[in-house]
Structure 1
Amino acid sequence: MTLKAVGGRIGRTHANLLHHFGSAEGLQRALIARMATYITSTIRDAVLSNREGDGDPDPRRIVDLVFDAFDSGGAGALASWMILSGNRDALDPILSAVHDLVDELAVGMQPAGRPIQDETLHLVLLALGDTLLGAPMARALDLPRSKARDLAVAMLTVDPDRRGHCD
C-alpha cells in the first residue's frame, strides 16, 4: 500500500496524503485504528443488543460479524500485510481494542469454564485463517464454504465441560 496508489484510488494526490498521514506507515496506522474501532464497536453493539433481548448473544451473528470483519472488512488482509512486512507494531491498535472489548464484555457475564478470552482467541484465529485459506481449503476437503463459520458457532455453543466427550 503506497500513498501514490491510495491517492490515485481515492482521487487525492500523494502530497495531500503525505500532509495528512506523514507516510504510508502513518496511513496504515490510521486505517488500522479506524478499522479496530469500527470492528469492536460493531461487535460490542451486537453482543449488548443480544444481551438486552434474551440474555445470551446469538453465536451465529457474532461469528458472522467477526468473520466478515476479517474477510470483507479487510482486517485479515491488512493484518497479514503488516505481519509479512515486519510491521507487527502497527497491529497494536487492533490488539488493544480487542483487549478492551473483551474486558468490557467479560464484566459480570463470564460463564464458568468458558473464559471469553479463550473464545475470542479461538474465534479470531479461525476468522483470520478462514480469510487467508478458507475457500481453497474447503474446496480441497469437499466441504461447504461456510464450514469454518459453522465450526466457530459450535465452539461457542458447546458446553465446555462436554468438549471432547462422546455420548
Structure 2
Amino acid sequence: MVARKRLTPEESRNSALEAARSLLIETGPQSVTLKAVSARIGRTHANLLHHFGSASGLQKALAEHLARTVCETIIDAVRASRAGLGSAREVVDLAFDAFDREGAGALTSWMLLTGNEDALDPIISTIHDLVDELAPEEASHGVAPLRIHGDTLSLVLMALGDALIGGALAKSLGLPRDSARERATAMLEASLGEHQLG
C-alpha cells in the first residue's frame, strides 16, 4: 500500500478547489459537493468539512477562487494591452471564457437558484478589487474612474449573459456565435479611443 503524501492545509485546500473547479466544468455546479470533491482528491469528507464547513462553504470558496484567478488573468491582459502587447479582444475573450468555459456563469446561476446569493459576494468583491486596481492606472491615462466601472459592469454582464443563453440566442437571431464578444470588443475599443482622443 502506497502512503498518501501529507499535504499542508493550504495545499489540501487548493487541491480541493481545483477538483471542485474540474467537477463544475465537467458536470455542472450541482456536482460540486463535499462527497464528490473528497472522492476526486482521495481525502475524507471530514477533511473537507474542516476546510470549508459545508457544501455551501465549498461553493463560496470556489466562487472566490474562480474570481481571483479570472481577475488576475484579466489584469495581466489589460497591462499587456496597455503595453501594446495585447488587444481589447483578448481582454473580452478572457472575461467571456471565465464565465463560459471556466464555469463561473453556471456557478453564478446555481448560487442564485439555490438561494446561496452570499456565495456571489467573493465574485463581486474580486471584480470590484480588479476595477479599483486598474482605476488609478487608467485615471493616469485620462480615463474617469466611473467610466472604468461602467465598462466593467457592461463587460461582466455581457459575459455572464453570453455564458447562460448566448449560444441559443445568437442562433435564434441568425447571428454568429461570437456576436456578443464582437460587441463587447467594439465597446472597449470605443472607450479606449475616446480617452485617447480626449
TM normalised by structure 1 equals 0.85
Encode CA deviations 1:5-58: one digit per residue, 9 max, x unaligned: 23234443323322322110111121111111101110011111221237xx61
Question: What residue is the counterpart of 2:148 in the other structure?
Answer: 116
Question: What residue is the counterpart of 1:165 in the other structure?
Answer: none
- Out of 88, 93, 101, which is 1:72 matched to? 101
Question: What residue is the counterpart of 1:136 in the other structure?
Answer: 168
Residue identity matched to 1:89: D
Aligned-pair identity (%): 58
Q: CA 1:104/1:157 → structure 2, altered by over 3 Å: closer, same or farther?
A: same
Residue identity matched to 1:150: E
Residue identity matched to 1:141: L
Stretch deviating more after TM superposition (13-22 or 130-139) = 13-22
Helix, strand or coil for the counterpart of 2:98? helix
The structure carrying a bigger helix percent of its residues is 2
Give the Cα separation in 1 of the matches to 2:146 and 2:51: 44
Note the C-alpha offset of 1:159: 5.7
Residue identity matched to 1:48: R
Note the C-alpha offset of 1:154: 1.2
8 Å Cα contact 1:110-1:116 kept in structure 2? no
Q: CA 1:78/1:145 → structure 2, altered by over 3 Å: closer, same or farther?
A: same
Counting only pairs closer than 5 Å after superposition, residues 33-48 of structure 1 correspond to structure 2 as 33-48=64-79
Stretch deviating more after TM superposition (33-42 or 111-120) = 111-120
RMSD of aligned Cα (Å): 2.3
- Out of 108, 125, 138, which is 1:96 matched to? 125
Counting only pairs closer than 5 Å after superposition, residues 8-23 of structure 1 correspond to structure 2 as 8-23=39-54
Give the Cα separation in 2 of the matches to 1:160 and 1:38: 25
Question: What residue is the counterpart of 1:7 in the other structure?
Answer: 38
User: How many pairs does the alignment contain?
Assistant: 160
8 Å Cα contact 2:135-2:145 kept in structure 1? no
Give the Cα separation in 2 of the matches to 1:159 and 1:61: 15
Note the C-alpha offset of 1:112: 5.5
Q: CA 1:116/1:159 → structure 2, altered by over 3 Å: closer, same or farther?
A: closer
- Out of 37, 57, 62, which is 1:26 matched to? 57
Note the C-alpha offset of 1:160: 9.1
Give yes or no for the alignment of 1:146 onto 2:178. yes
Q: CA 1:13/1:58 → structure 2, altered by over 3 Å: closer, same or farther?
A: same
Give the Cα separation in 1 of the matches to 2:142 and 2:109: 31
TM normalised by structure 2 equals 0.73
Moved over 6 A (4+): none
- Out of 76, 82, 87, which is 2:111 matched to? 82
Q: CA 1:160/1:105 → structure 2, altered by over 3 Å: closer, same or farther?
A: closer
Stretch deviating more after TM superposition (124-133 or 101-110) = 101-110
Structure 2 gaps of 5+ residues are: 1-31
